[in-house]
Amino acid sequence: MRSGTLPEIELHLTRAPKPKPSGAGLRFGRIFTDHMFIMEYEEGRGWHSPRIVPYQPITLEPSAMVFHYAQTVFEGLKAYRTADGRIRLFRPEMNVKRLNRSCARLSIPPVDERLALEAIRKLVETDSGWVPEEEGTSLYIRPFIIATEPHVGVAPSSSYRFMIILSPVGAYYPEGLKPVSILVETRDVRAVPGGVGEAKTGGNYAASLRAQEEAKKLGCSQVLWLDGIHRRYVEEVGSMNVFFKIGDTVVTPELGGSILDGITRDSVLRLLRHWGVKAEERRIPIDEIREAHRAGMLEEAFGTGTAAVVSPIGELVHAGDRLVIGGGRIGGLTAKLYDTLTGIQYGRLEDPFGWMTDVGGKA
């Protein structure tokens, strides 16, 4: 299914459409649209039967391998409605490529990237009326693959299910962009090179939950992960990539197999270099961050990801110290990056990189 003519995606429309919520007050990932995409894989047959059907519960054997051995991958992207009613996707081809990289690491058969893109486009078009119009809202798109073979035995599954679901979501910052406090995690480890840290798979996120709970007890919104070998080098902040502005240079951890190759991360790097801002990808010791703060050189810090786009960091809590960054206020470069990325996504600004894809399906 990786070359030639794509199979037709069957369309089965719901006979009982749900009421669409108001864009005001939407929470993240709580409400789902009328339809979903499904496609199955069987050993010897490959991926087959792509279809859009009414959103509904799924049935799996209790022995389905996804429950026992966590063979699963997922992605996350958004559809945005512009002021003139168009619906657009932000760099969806990057999400599909990354989905297949995650598949390779988890021994899951790859999907045809053209078919996956068409499935996303057609599903969003089918439920285009669910793309909210209010400022800062969007339609979150969650493609995922699960192992479905009923077998309690440690081996790659012989069958899988690829699904896509949609969720209208509100503005990530309904009260405006505000810097958050971050705990530098020194006990738990999220991932190590050679593991699955660079894949979007459920186990990475399950491993982060305990540290998040501890961070919240200390009044912090998230954790800053250090590398799992030396416990010295900065990796990610929560489930986001992280950036620091030290003097006139922006630095972010290099990709080394234990952190996610974020699409927003790549977009930020391209914007910075387009603007002539010096940007480095390298290993960053936490001691360097502390020293830059002590010297007054740590001017800004922020996380990047699909959900929040850019999340400013106002404080790091490490080894009993509270390192306030930029007076606890959002930095000028951080704000510019957020405004530029969201401006491109919602069609308010020019798209010089050709990142946006029109879906159609005006409501």
For residues 164 and 201, membership in a common domain is answered with: no
Examine residue 16 and state whether it is found in any structural domain, yes or no. Answer: yes
Which pLDDT value is given to residue 172? 76
For residues 133 and 214, membership in a common domain is answered with: no
Which pLDDT value is given to residue 206? 92
For residues 141 and 263, membership in a common domain is answered with: no
- Give the whole-angstrom CA distance, residue 28 versus residue 56: 19
pLDDT of 169 higher than 60:
yes
Examine residue 68 and state whether it is found in any structural domain, yes or no. Answer: yes
As for how many domains the chain has, the answer is 2
The label of the residue with tokens 């003097």 reads: 247
Residue 67 has a CB neighbour count (10 Å cut-off) of: 15
DSSP character for 4?
A: S
For residues 194 and 127, membership in a common domain is answered with: no
How many Cα atoms occupy the beta-carbon half-sphere of 38 within 13 Å? 13
Which domain, by its residues, includes 75?
Answer: 10-169
pLDDT of 152 higher than 70:
yes
Examine residue 37 and state whether it is found in any structural domain, yes or no. Answer: yes
pLDDT of 362 higher than 60:
no
- 314: Cα separation from own chain's centroid: 22
Confidence of residue 3 (pLDDT cuts 50, 70, 90): low
For residues 188 and 257, membership in a common domain is answered with: yes
Q: What is the DSSP string of 145-208?
A: EEE--B--SSS--SEEEEEEEEEEE--S-TT----EEEEE-SS-----TTTTTTS--HHHHHTT
Which pLDDT value is given to residue 210? 94
pLDDT of 288 higher than 70:
yes
CA distances from 189 to 106, 234, 304, 329 (A): 20, 12, 20, 29
* Both tokens assigned to 212: 């998040």
Examine residue 38 and state whether it is found in any structural domain, yes or no. Answer: yes
- Give the whole-angstrom CA distance, residue 229 versus residue 104: 24
Mean pLDDT computed over 88-95: 98
Examine residue 353 and state whether it is found in any structural domain, yes or no. Answer: no
Length of the chain: 363
pLDDT of 2 higher than 60:
no
pLDDT of 1 higher than 60:
no
pLDDT in tens, 125-147: 999 999 999 988 999 999 999 99
CA distances from 125 to 81, 92, 204, 227, 318 (A): 12, 14, 31, 41, 47
H-helix or E-strand containing 187?
none
For residues 147 and 214, membership in a common domain is answered with: no
Which pLDDT value is given to residue 177? 82
* Both tokens assigned to 110: 């790859």
The enclosing domain of 90 has a CATH number of: 3.30.470.10
pLDDT of 65 higher than 60:
yes
The label of the residue with tokens 């003519």 reads: 5
For residues 280 and 258, membership in a common domain is answered with: yes
CA distances from 44 to 41, 47, 48 (A): 9, 10, 11
For residues 215 and 329, membership in a common domain is answered with: yes
Contacting residues for 209 by C-beta, under 8 A, at least 6 apart? none
For residues 221 and 281, membership in a common domain is answered with: yes
Q: Taken in order 288, 292, 294, 300, is the CA torsion positive or negative?
A: negative
Predicted model pTM: 0.95
Exposed/middle/buried for 176, CB within 10 Å: 0-12, 13-18, 19+? Answer: exposed
Examine residue 360 and state whether it is found in any structural domain, yes or no. Answer: no
338's torsion region: left (phi>0), alpha (psi -120 to 50) or beta? alpha
The enclosing domain of 270 has a CATH number of: 3.20.10.10
The label of the residue with tokens 């502390």 reads: 290
H-helix or E-strand containing 257?
none
For residues 236 and 164, membership in a common domain is answered with: no
169, 189, 222: which is the final residue of a domain?
Answer: 169
